[in-house]
Amino acid sequence: MDRILVHQALRLPLENWLPSVAGMTQFSVGRFAVQRIDTSRVTFNIQRVGVANETAVTLLEGLMFFKSSIARLGDSFSNLDQWLALGDVRIRYPPWDLTLSVTGGLFLDNDVGIATDLGRFFGNTEIGLFLRHSDNGSLAGIRVGFPLTPAKELKPMYFRPRLPELFNYEQRTTVFTDRNFLRADIGRTLPFGHQIERVYWNRDRLYPVYIEHHVDTLKQAVREWVDDVEESVHTQGRK
């Protein structure tokens, strides 16, 4: 296993004071995913354990988004000697499902820098352009993310296996340099595997403005779900 983590998420009671604001915080502890690093054509693995926190807040009914990520990592819990501290600000243009994200701070590998991303949803598939500039170098490219799970969710239960829910693919190139050598340690973030915006906010789409612009799609999804439930109830009733 390359990841063994326990997560606890808590809802922030921000709506009581500001109706247009919503927030969540999540604490994670355990062993994070093994990362494969390529530096100077030498490949090796790094294992990290530790504790982490993600706190996300949406403003103006989802038009703006802010997230902080803080983690203390190390080779073992008795030797936590590495910090990660990032801030992420996103601005959305709902008519086009367009999101501009800017992330900056201390990445993994003691790498200080900034990363920008411009992404757009086409249905459930997201396509984006990114630029990462840090102490370790600069990268730019295009990314694609699409879901791997079926449209219908599994029945709730106390324990159930889950396969990867999202497939991400990137094509990258070096920028701001005359050497075309791709490094894997530029602007790396911590692989939680359970981000707030992906797990609880439907890949950062569960906010009022997005819902208002996709009412027809959501209505159709509700109709299919209600029809399935009613059919199941009628079938059990006949039995």
Q: What is the mean pLDDT of residues 175-194?
A: 81
Return the exposure string of 1-35: e unless at least 16 CB atoms fall within 10 Å of the residue's CB, then b: eeeebebeeeeeebeeeeeebbbbbbebeeebbeb
Structural domain span for residue 157: 4-238
Model confidence over 33-54: pLDDT tens digits?
A: 766 666 555 556 677 889 999 9
The C-alpha atoms of residue 104 and residue 133 are separated, in whole angstroms, by 10
The C-alpha atoms of residue 223 and residue 230 are separated, in whole angstroms, by 10
pTM of this structure: 0.78
Neighbours of 102 (CB within 10 A): 13
Tokens standing for 86?
């990032």
Q: How many domains does the chain have?
A: 1
Model confidence over 8-17: pLDDT tens digits?
A: 999 988 877 7
Q: Residue 69: pLDDT band by 50, 70, 90 thresholds? A: very high
Model confidence over 170-180: pLDDT tens digits?
A: 998 998 887 77
Q: What is the mean pLDDT of residues 85-106?
A: 92
pLDDT at res. 205: 81
